[in-house]
């Protein structure tokens, strides 16, 4: 029996069934794609300034080979481990009777609220030998696994228990049921989370610099830092673009053309959870270890800084201003980014033609570029073509949207795939216009996804540093820039409160993410 024989499992999509996307949707998608491509266009322009022989000298060094090996090796290892840990933890929380399931969920999503430069500094200050590949692997896995855990838990909770019960009743063992019935449904969340993690890893700089693990991104920073002209940095950044294109292609192939929607979820019975019995302590120990590694170590580092540092001069006004600025920017970025992501997600889920696919894929590429590359490209762009935008809050929010669009997109596309488009068709056949039909059928069902997308963008904006330093209006200070100011003059005691407030602020959307998840289950 193949998995396609079970109800509501991936079915082949009949091509061309829903051709012709509404014009408004196309325009929205094109705007998002155009914005995302601005940095890449400027990179290409800049790379033209490099002669062929210089490009050859830069790219064909043994060092670049090492950097490529480091980058690709880490992506493969981290993404695979995150998938295993993320799915494992989600399954334990959603499908077993492990005690304190809600608490575990909160604890395991919170690592998203900790900036990478804080967590890697925490690791390095406690374990000075944490260096190189294994150090980078550990730090990135415990920082990024929630990107798989969250969407996987949502799908596990949202799916109909009847599917698995039917499989069991037909004689499949627990493991076979997982592999043949549960796992295929997890394909979208795992691939989406994995894609985000892989793109993050291409762009990550701060953590790898701390851990002394050279990658293409750290090399690009070094080129800007010491070379100033930026052209050689652009050449290397184009290598990142090429790698991200390969990743995007791989994900499309792995995602396949399966569909996951059902008409009417019916009334789900409460799910029977796997009784862990004697295995419970083992599961608790595993989840506990994960919590200590991902949350305990960075938080302990913050406490340690405050205790150790003698520079704990805390001007309350500057902290308060930084908090309000950070909140305003992050809320703005969340709303704008989700608004840009929605048409892209709709296009790719509902009108899967070549153009829609291209639009969707093009919004991911910028995520593979380090913040400094995007920041400088937007400096060039606005100085040349839109000087009234330069160093304004608006441009800063646009930069956040470009950086974090993929996060919103991945959060939206999973739930969207589970909503059958026929409901909207029915609403239309009953006389509603296109927009109103969408607003009354799909949009309410999509609240979970939109909320999750907004929360993820909010979290990421709170901790964004390099792009902010380049693009903020002069005089604007966020929590991250204040933290950087003190940390870069060795005043860790003074820097720690800013990091602590960053984590506290981010805990709120992290909590909302979990609340949303509860909503999906009820």
Partner 1 sequence: MRRRSIAWIALAAVAAALTACGGSGSSATAGSDPITVYSGQHEQTMATLVADFKKRTGIDVKLRSSDEASLANQVLREGSASPADVFVAENPPALTVLERKGLFAPVDAATLSKTPSRLNAPKKDWVAASARSAVLAYNTEKLRPAELPGKLQDLAKPAWRGKIGFAPTETDFQPLITAVRALHGAGAAQSWLQGLKSNGKVYDDNEALIAAVNRGEIAAGLIDHYYWYRLRDEVGASKVHSALHYFDAGDAGALVDVSGAAALKSSTHPREAQRFLSYLVSKPAQEIIATSESYEYPLGSGVQTKRDLKPFDQLKPPAISVEQLGDGRDALRALQDVGLI
Using rule CB under 8 A, residue 491 touches partner 1: yes
Stretch that binds partner 1, among 99-107, 176-184, 222-230, 285-293 (CB under 8 A): 222-230
The least CB distance from residue 331 to partner 1, in Å, is 5
Between the CA atoms of 471, 477, 479 and 485, what dihedral angle is there, to the nearest 10 degrees? Answer: 90
Contacts of 247 (CB under 8 A, 6+ apart): 75, 195, 198, 199, 202, 368
**Length, in residues, of the chain:** 522
Using rule CB under 8 A, residue 61 touches partner 1: yes
Nearer to partner 1, 61 or 279 (CB): 61
Nearer to partner 1, 162 or 222 (CB): 222
Outline where 393-491 has alpha helix (H): 393-417, 422-429, 434-440, 442-445, 447-463, 466-471, 479-487
Stretch that binds partner 1, among 76-84, 239-247, 345-353, 378-386 (CB under 8 A): 378-386
Nearer to partner 1, 11 or 515 (CB): 515
Contacts of 23 (CB under 8 A, 6+ apart): none
Using rule CB under 8 A, residue 147 touches partner 1: no
Are 302 and 125 a contacting pair, CB within 8 Å? no
Using rule CB under 8 A, residue 489 touches partner 1: yes
Phi-psi domain of 266 (left: phi exceeds 0; alpha: psi -120 through 50; beta: other): left
Contact letters (x/-) for partner 1, 68-107, by CB under 8 A? Answer: ----------------------------------------
Q: Which of 8, 45, 72, 209 binds partner 1 (CB under 8 A)?
A: 209
Stretch that binds partner 1, among 85-93, 105-113, 256-264, 469-477 (CB under 8 A): 469-477
Using rule CB under 8 A, residue 383 touches partner 1: yes
User: What is the distance between the alpha carbons of residues 6 and 169, in angstroms, rounded to a whole number?
Assistant: 13
Nearer to partner 1, 2 or 387 (CB): 387
Nearer to partner 1, 202 or 376 (CB): 376
Q: Which of 302, 376, 513, 520 binds partner 1 (CB under 8 A)?
A: 376
Q: For residue 28, which of 451, 412, 346 has the smallest C-alpha distance?
A: 346
Helix 354-365, helix 316-350: angle, nearest 10: 160
- Work out whether the CA dihedral 131, 132, 138, 141 comes out positive or negative: positive
Separation of first and last alpha carbons in the chain: 32
Stretch that binds partner 1, among 10-18, 162-170, 269-277, 487-495 (CB under 8 A): 487-495
Nearer to partner 1, 53 or 474 (CB): 474
User: What is the distance between the alpha carbons of residues 43 and 238, in angstroms, rounded to a whole number?
Assistant: 7
Helix 280-291, helix 101-109: angle, nearest 10: 30
Using rule CB under 8 A, residue 476 touches partner 1: yes
Q: Which of 261, 276, 394, 432 binds partner 1 (CB under 8 A)?
A: 394
Using rule CB under 8 A, residue 3 touches partner 1: no
User: What is the distance between the alpha carbons of residues 93 and 160, in angstroms, rounded to a whole number?
Assistant: 17
Q: For residue 400, which of 412, 410, 408, 411 has the smallest C-alpha distance?
A: 408
Stretch that binds partner 1, among 18-26, 263-271, 352-360, 468-476 (CB under 8 A): 468-476
Stretch that binds partner 1, among 402-410, 418-426, 428-436, 464-472 (CB under 8 A): 464-472
Are 122 and 300 a contacting pair, CB within 8 Å? yes
Contacts of 117 (CB under 8 A, 6+ apart): 206, 207, 210, 465
Nearer to partner 1, 189 or 375 (CB): 375
> In the window 346-375, what residues touch partner 1 (CB under 8 A)?
372
Using rule CB under 8 A, residue 128 touches partner 1: yes
Using rule CB under 8 A, residue 306 touches partner 1: no
The least CB distance from residue 188 to partner 1, in Å, is 27
Phi-psi domain of 391 (left: phi exceeds 0; alpha: psi -120 through 50; beta: other): left
The least CB distance from residue 64 to partner 1, in Å, is 10
Using rule CB under 8 A, residue 222 touches partner 1: yes
Nearer to partner 1, 427 or 471 (CB): 471
Q: For residue 483, which of 496, 474, 470 has the smallest C-alpha distance?
A: 496
Give the 3-state DSSP-derived string for 244-255, with helices as H, strands as E and coil as C. HHHHHHHHHHHH
Q: How many residues at the interface with partner 1, by CB under 8 A? A: 62
Which stretches of the chain bind partner 1, using CB under 8 A?
58, 61-63, 66, 124, 128, 209-210, 212, 218-219, 221-230, 308-311, 324-325, 327-329, 331-332, 335, 372, 376, 379-380, 383, 387, 390-394, 397, 466, 469-470, 472-476, 485, 487-493
């Amino acid at each position: 029996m193949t998995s396609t024989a079970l109800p509501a499992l991936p079915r082949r999509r009949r091509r061309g069934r829903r051709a012709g996307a509404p014009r408004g949707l196309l325009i929205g998608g094109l705007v998002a794609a155009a914005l995302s491509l601005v940095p890449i266009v400027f990179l290409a322009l800049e790379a033209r300034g490099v002669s062929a022989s210089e490009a050859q000298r830069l790219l064909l060094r043994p060092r670049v080979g090492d950097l490529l090996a480091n980058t690709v090796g880490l992506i493969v290892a981290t993404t695979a481990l995150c998938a295993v840990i993320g799915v494992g933890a989600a399954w334990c929380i959603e499908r077993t009777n492990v005690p304190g399931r809600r608490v575990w969920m909160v604890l395991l999503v919170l690592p998203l609220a900790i900036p990478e430069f804080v967590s890697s500094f925490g690791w390095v200050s406690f374990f000075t030998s944490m260096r190189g590949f294994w150090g980078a692997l550990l730090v990135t896995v415990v920082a990024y696994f929630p990107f798989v855990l969250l969407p996987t838990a949502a799908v596990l909770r949202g799916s109909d228990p009847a599917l698995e019960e039917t499989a069991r009743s037909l004689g499949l063992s627990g493991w076979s049921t997982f592999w043949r019935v549960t796992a295929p449904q997890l394909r979208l969340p795992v691939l989406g989370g994995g894609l985000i993690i892989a793109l993050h890893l291409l762009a990550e700089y701060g953590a790898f610099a701390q851990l002394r693990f050279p990658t293409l991104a750290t090399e690009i920073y070094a080129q800007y830092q010491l070379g100033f002209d930026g052209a050689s940095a652009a050449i290397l950044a184009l290598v990142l673009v090429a790698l991200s294109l390969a990743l995007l292609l791989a994900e499309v192939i792995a995602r396949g053309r399966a569909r996951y929607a059902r008409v009417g979820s019916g009334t789900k019975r409460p799910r029977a959870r796997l009784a862990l019995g004697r295995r419970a302590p083992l599961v608790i120990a595993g989840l506990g270890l994960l919590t200590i590694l991902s949350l305990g170590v960075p938080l302990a580092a913050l406490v340690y800084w405050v205790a150790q540092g003698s520079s704990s001069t805390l001007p309350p006004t500057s902290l308060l201003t930084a908090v309000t600025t950070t909140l305003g920017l992050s809320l703005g970025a969340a709303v704008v980014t989700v608004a840009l992501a929605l048409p892209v997600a709709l296009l790719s889920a509902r009108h899967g033609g070549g153009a829609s696919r291209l639009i969707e894929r093009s919004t991911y590429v910028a995520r593979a570029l380090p913040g400094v590359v995007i920041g400088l490209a937007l400096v060039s762009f606005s100085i040349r073509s839109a000087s009234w935008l330069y160093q304004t809050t608006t441009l800063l929010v646009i930069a956040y949207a470009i950086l974090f669009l993929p996060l919103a997109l991945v959060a939206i596309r999973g739930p969207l795939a589970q909503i059958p488009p026929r409901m909207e068709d029915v609403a239309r056949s009953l006389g509603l216009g296109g927009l109103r039909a969408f607003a009354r059928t799909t949009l309410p069902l999509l609240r979970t996804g939109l909320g999750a997308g907004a929360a993820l963008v909010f979290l990421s904006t709170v901790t964004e540093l390099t792009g902010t330093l380049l693009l903020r209006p002069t005089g604007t200070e966020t929590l991250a820039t204040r933290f950087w100011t003190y940390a870069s003059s060795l005043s860790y005691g003074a820097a720690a409160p800013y990091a602590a407030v960053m984590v506290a602020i981010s805990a709120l959307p992290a909590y909302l993410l979990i609340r949303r998840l509860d909503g999906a289950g009820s």
